[in-house]
Amino acid sequence: MPDARASVLAPPQEAAQGLRRALVEILKQLNRDEMEEPEVPGLEVNELREILARTAFPLITPAETRTAVHVLVRNGYARELTDERYAWTRGRTVGCRYTITSPGKSFLLQAIYRAGRIGGPSTSRPPTFGGP
C-alpha cells in the first residue's frame, strides 16, 4: 500500500502484503500513542499519514491511509473517537481520531512475533494480549 499505482499493478498477494504492512504500522502508531498517554487520546487520519510518510510508506496517500484505518475499525482492531476536543500539545481542536483496541493489540503482538521481532514463550504458540 505504499503507492496506489504500484498496488494496482502488483500481483494480488504482493498488494495484500503491502496492505498488511500498512495495517501493522498504523497499529504500532496507535499503540505508541496510547502508551504515551496524551491529554487527548487517538490520532487523526492526517496525523497517521504524516507519520507513515516519514517512515516506511513515503508515497502513501490520504485516501489509502483512510482506507487502511477503516479496515482496522471494521475488523475491531481500532475504534473511532468523534468527540471534538482541544489538544494543548497540538495547539488545535481535534475531531475524528482513532485508538487501538484490545483485539488490535493482540493482532499487533502476533504480527510482531511472526516477524521475529520479539521472542515468544517456550511453546510454538504466539503470545496473546489479555484474556485467560
pLDDT surpasses 80 at 100: yes
Neighbouring residues of 48: CB distance < 8 A, sequence distance ≥ 6:
26, 29, 30, 65, 69, 98
Nearest to 89 by CA among 47, 45, 31, 26: 47
**Residue 132 confidence class, pLDDT cut points 50, 70, 90:** very low
pLDDT of residue 122: 43
Question: What does CATH list as the number for 4-114?
Answer: 1.10.10.10
What region, left, alpha or beta, does residue 30 occupy, with left being phi > 0 and alpha being psi -120 to 50 degrees?
alpha
pLDDT of residue 2: 47
pLDDT surpasses 90 at 14: no
Please report, rounded to a whole number, the percentage of residues in the chain having pLDDT higher than 90: 60
User: Alpha carbon 90 to chain centroid distance?
Assistant: 20
Residue with cell 517512515: 55
Enumerate the domain spans of the chain.
Answer: 4-114
**Residue 97 confidence class, pLDDT cut points 50, 70, 90:** very high
- Do 43 and 66 meet the contact criterion of CB atoms below 8 Å apart? no
Least confident residue range of 20-34, 37-51, 86-100, 113-127? 113-127
Higher pLDDT, 38 or 25: 25
Other CB atoms closer than 10 Å to residue 110's CB: what's the count? 17
